[in-house]
Amino acid sequence: MFYLILLLACLLEAALASLQIVPGATWTASGINQHIQAHGGGIVEVDSVFYWMGENKLNGSAFQSINCYSSTDLVQWTFVNEVLTLQASGDLGPNRVVERPHAMYNDATGKYVLWMHIDSSSYGEARAGVAISDTICGDYTYLNASQPLGFQSRDLNVFKDTDGTGYLLTEDRVNGLRIDLLSDDYLSVVSPTHLYVEDYEAPAIYKSGDTYFMFASYLSGWSPNDNQYCTATNLSGPWSNWTNFATAGSNTYNSQTAAVVSINGVVMYMGDRWHSTNLMTSTYIWLPLEISGTTATMPNETNWILSLSSGTWTPGPSETTPEAEASSNVLTNGAVKQTCTGCSGGESVGYIGGSANGTLTFTGISSTVSTTTTIRVHHENGDSTQRYAVVTVNGVEKIVAFLPTTDGNTPGTSILTVPLLKGNSNVIEFAGYDGGWAPDIDRLMVPVS
């Protein structure tokens, strides 16, 4: 029996081996079929399920809702709930700023406590708000907001130490970045723990053994900068000097810190790549952090695989790269090959969907194993809103979102997680969704195994 369970566990692991985290791609949530709207957020694990809460920016920067999504593999996410919704007036009313929601579980009260930046549209209030719920993704009850210990509070985060003590990390524009001790119930701020006098925002603390790592960004608005970290063995300090963790000059691979979390032992950086002119198209830059002693470094990966069972990660798999314009593909109902300057091979297939219901079918897609895998789809979408496609893989249908490709020439990436069969008879069809146009398709990147 034991060996049977072990065998099943191994098979399950093999079957999910090529699920990929693809930084900067369109991540479609099932249940809502939209690019995930959970900006500036974090992940809380409850009973082996990962819950991701963040800001909904579908309609610009003003508060719309705080969304919660769930996943068991960090790649396939399901929309669960709007945990805080737009109110007629007050802190959560129209034209308000509600940013960087971060929750933690209070063992003593049995409540999830959610802290967030509360502000007016001109950022003149600079307060920290708090809400509670019995369940991680439930409807939260909003309690109040204040300036902690009388200081301004903008970007914020929370940190639960290994002994259960809770802290609020808050950017006070006048004085610097603060770590404040929270009350036992996490609902109020008790006393100051540390003040970094340098100008940093977007804070996140990760504890490795006895060492605390503080990650944060410089202040440069929606534009990214080279985010920094420092370390200490006591939250009160002394803290080391700040230094880079990503490649210097890369602007943290074009992102800003949202959170740093341990996923079964893999330390993962969660960053936001903000697109200030169309915030809902902002993407998520999640990358593995390599922590060793008191150093943290973050490699740049186009795509990577997180093994939950072994607590390790590997770079993306070998791939085949089937082109949309390949002569073996089938185009119907007006779908056509067209010139595409930024596309591989200089061509894409357009006019998929629409009233004529054009379709593009890739045939002969190969895989050396029968497995659930993540396929990257290179596409162009010249609209300012998402396009959608109904993608049918070996008879299994998925609705996939495709963010605008704002710079015109370079294709964007959208990801699709589907079951592939061993052999080279896999068929992948792209059709329109609900009468709309699908994006132009450049090519697929399909894991070999």
Ligand X SMILES: *[C@@H]1O[C@H](CO)[C@@H](O)[C@H](O)[C@H]1NC(C)=O
- Interface with ligand X: number of residues (CB under 6 A): 22
Q: Which of 18, 106, 329, 359 binds ligand X (CB under 6 A)?
A: 359
Residues contacting 6, CB < 8 A, separation 6+: none
Binding part of the chain for ligand X, among 102-110, 140-148, 150-158, 282-290 by CB under 6 A, reads: 140-148
Q: Which of 372, 375, 371, 374 is nearest to 422 (CA)?
A: 371
- Residue ranges with strand state E in 134-196: 141-146, 156-160, 166-172, 176-182, 189-196
Query: Both ends of the chain: CA-CA distance in Å?
Result: 29
Q: Which of 85, 109, 146, 320 binds ligand X (CB under 6 A)?
A: 146
Q: Which of 8, 46, 49, 59 binds ligand X (CB under 6 A)?
A: 59
Q: Is 265 in the site for ligand X (CB under 6 A)?
A: no
Residue 293 burial (10 A CB sphere; 0-12, 13-18, 19+): exposed
Q: Which of 19, 156, 187, 340 binds ligand X (CB under 6 A)?
A: 187
Of 395 and 435, which has the nearer Cβ to ligand X? Answer: 435
Q: What residues numbered 198-237 form the site for ligand X, per CB under 6 A?
A: 234, 236
Q: Which of 33, 165, 247, 394 binds ligand X (CB under 6 A)?
A: 247
Report in angstroms how near the CB of residue 257 gets to ligand X at its nearest: 17
Q: Is 188 in the site for ligand X (CB under 6 A)?
A: yes
Residue 437 burial (10 A CB sphere; 0-12, 13-18, 19+): buried
Phi-psi region of 310 (alpha: psi -120 to 50; beta: other; left: phi over 0): alpha
> Alpha-carbon distance 449 to 441, whole Å?
23
Of 160 and 371, which has the nearer Cβ to ligand X? Answer: 160
Tokens of 333: 């109902």
Q: Which of 20, 25, 80, 23 is nearest to 49 (CA)?
A: 80
Q: Is 94 in the site for ligand X (CB under 6 A)?
A: yes
Of 70 and 153, which has the nearer Cβ to ligand X? Answer: 153
> Alpha-carbon distance 218 to 96, whole Å?
24
Cβ atoms < 10 Å from Cβ of 425? 12
Binding mask 430-449 for ligand X (x = CB under 6 A): -x---x--------------
Report in angstroms how near the CB of residue 382 gets to ligand X at its nearest: 21
Q: What residues numbered 268-307 form the site for ligand X, per CB under 6 A?
A: 300, 302
Of 18 and 70, which has the nearer Cβ to ligand X? Answer: 18
Residues at the site binding ligand X, with contacts judged by CB under 6 A: 59-60, 62, 94-95, 143-144, 146, 187-188, 234, 236, 241, 247, 250, 253, 300, 302, 357, 359, 431, 435
